[in-house]
């Protein structure tokens, strides 16, 4: 039912864990399945660009939720905060070579948690 990529990211997730003193944190939950995802970011300014230097996730959820968390952190790492906001829900699923239709909502969680972490960072820096 899952692609090879999903399986890889589920069994060996990248960037799992938490960051102490993060610059931004985003938490989102899915009220239907009860799954919870938290993304932490550390941002560094380089040549006037705000780069996501470190990113980690903690997810309580299904296999797809873990795999999409892992993928979204890979996609956002090294990007500017503006670029991270442009990562769409569909980008996460596409980079995992697709998700079963019933599991697409799990990838929404990942993009939403990333955006929430960036929003939190933007709010804090003001
Ligand atoms: Fe809830 Fe996947 S079933 S996020």
Task: Please state the rounded mean pLDDT for residues 100-121.
Answer: 93
- Would you state the structure tokens that stand for residue 32, as one six-digit string? 């239907």
* Largest CA-CA distance found in the chain, in angstroms, rounded: 45
Whole-prediction pTM value?
A: 0.95
What is the rounded distance in angstroms from the CA atom of residue 126 to the CA atom of residue 121? 9
How sure is the predictor about 39, in pLDDT bands with cuts at 50, 70 and 90? very high
Higher pLDDT, 107 or 43: 43
Does the structure show a pLDDT above 80 at 126? no
Does the structure show a pLDDT above 90 at 33? no
Cα–Cα distances (Å) from 37 to 21, 30, 47, 123, in that order, read 18, 9, 31, 20
Q: Where are the domains of the chain?
A: 4-125
pLDDT value of position 98? 94
The highest-level CATH class for domain 4-125 is alpha beta
Residue 68: φ, ψ to 5°: -70, -35
Atom 2 of ligand 1 has which residue's CA nearest to it? 106
Q: Report the chain's mean pLDDT, rounded to a whole number.
A: 95
- Best residue among 9, 29, 31, 35 to mutate for probing ligand 1's pocket (most ligand atoms within 8 Å of CB) is 35
């Amino acid at each position: 039912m899952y692609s090879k990529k999903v399986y890889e990211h589920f069994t060996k997730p990248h960037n799992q864990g938490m960051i102490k003193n993060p610059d931004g944190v985003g938490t989102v939950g899915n009220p239907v399945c009860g799954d919870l995802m938290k993304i932490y970011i550390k941002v560094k300014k380089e040549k006037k660009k705000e780069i996501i230097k470190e990113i980690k996730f903690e997810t309580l959820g299904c296999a797809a939720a873990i795999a999409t968390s892992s993928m979204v952190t890979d996609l956002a790492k090294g990007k500017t905060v503006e670029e991270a906001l442009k990562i769409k829900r569909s980008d996460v699923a596409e980079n995992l070579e697709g998700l079963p239709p019933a599991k697409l909502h799990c990838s929404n969680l990942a993009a939403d948690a990333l955006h929430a972490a960036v929003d939190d960072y933007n709010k804090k820096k003001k």
